[in-house]
Amino acid sequence: MVRYQRRKDNRVNRKKIRYKTIFALCGIEAKASKRLPSMSLPYPFSMAQHRGFRIYIPNVYGMVLMSNEIFTLFDIPIQCLSLEESLFSVFQAMQESSQRVFFATSYSLVKAHKDKTHKRALQLAEFCLQSGHGILLAAHFLHHKNVPAPIEPEHWITCFLDLIEQRSSLPVSIFFLGSNTADIEALPSFMEKRWPKIHLCGAHESWTPEQEEELVKKIEQAAPTILLVSREIPEGERFIYQHWHRFKNAGIKVALSGEEVIEKMIGTFPQTTRLLRALHIESLLRAISRPKFFIQRYVIGGLSFVYLLLKTRGQG
């Protein structure tokens, strides 16, 4: 028993030394700590966590180890970036040019296989991050072991706005698009309390095809730094893709798309759903409360994903 405990302690110490060395090379100080809430300390001292280590991000932007590896699934390239790597990569890239950030799930890849416009949108996105356990399982099934853990869109966007709030030296504005009237009306007070340095230059609820041209003109007139589209898959990605040249000319630096992101960010998403999401059994609530959605998304979509995965492996 004593010998086993010594071996365990040696493994832990070697792991601590390894990660401290990596973070030191990146200009990041890492200290062992308990897993505390990510925003329990003032911002630059509580950006993220990595395997039990709290990452202390310096005030001066430093180098971050970033993997340039791409995992291609169904002809769609997915960047193998962790949460921290993707945040700093997008932040650095937006200083030079406009960026589109989409989140790929197994269901979105199935939709993209049938919808050429959606597929093209994911292929041309500057950042396509993996956001589903289905893609992680697919990577292991196809013997690709370097895909990081799934990234939740609302968590990534919240961390990104935190990063913008603290790091940006220039005025930053944001335009919210999607959700319902009640959530849109709650955004000004929420933004003022949560991100006071980020100016809310506009917000609009879900739209119809007849309203799309007027909406694009409204966004061009507002000229935000960040455009956040909260629509179901694949409407958000298609909207950004179809009008991307106009958004770039309007000065938009980052365009984000995520399903039900606004509701989850401001806290109007059902409390029981957030609890089940924490327990990784959200599908159970969806099956009970939205049976048609569950059947389409998880049963039909899941079977289609498995079929495409088996077909891909058979061809490879």
Q: For the chain, what are the domain ranges?
A: 10-56, 69-268, 271-315
CA distances from 278 to 11, 88, 249, 272, 283 (A): 29, 25, 40, 10, 12
**Cα angle, residue 184 at apex, residues 183 and 190 outer, rounded to 5°:** 75
Per-range mean pLDDT, top range of 93-97, 259-263, 267-271, 294-298 = 93-97
129 compared with 31, residue with greater pLDDT: 129
Average pLDDT score over residue span 105-134: 90
Cα–Cα distance measured from residue 130 to residue 148, given in angstroms and rounded to the nearest whole number: 8
Residue type present at position 29? E
What is the separation of C-alpha 26 from the centre of its chain, rounded to a whole number of angstroms? 23
191 is written with which tokens?
């933004």
Please give the pLDDT value at position 221.
93
Q: 272: Cβ–Cβ under 8 A, 6 or more apart, which residues? A: 285
What is the pLDDT confidence band of residue 283, given thresholds at 50, 70 and 90? low
166 compared with 277, residue with greater pLDDT: 166
Write the pLDDT tens digit of every residue in 194-222. 899 999 998 888 888 888 999 999 999 99
44 is written with which tokens?
């630059």
Cα–Cα distance measured from residue 57 to residue 127, given in angstroms and rounded to the nearest whole number: 23
The pLDDT > 90 percentage for the chain reads 28
Report pTM.
Answer: 0.73
Cα–Cα distance measured from residue 242 to residue 109, given in angstroms and rounded to the nearest whole number: 18
Average pLDDT score over residue span 187-191: 88
Write the pLDDT tens digit of every residue in 223-244. 999 999 988 888 899 999 999 9
Please give the pLDDT value at position 25.
34
Average pLDDT score over residue span 164-183: 86
What is the pLDDT confidence band of residue 160, given thresholds at 50, 70 and 90? very high
Q: Which of 14-23, 53-62, 153-162, 206-215 is the least confident region? A: 53-62
Say which CATH architecture domain 69-268 belongs to.
3-Layer(aba) Sandwich (3.40)
Comparing CA positions, the residue from 235, 240, 208, 238 lying closest to residue 224 is: 240
The pLDDT mean for the chain works out to 75
225 compared with 145, residue with greater pLDDT: 225
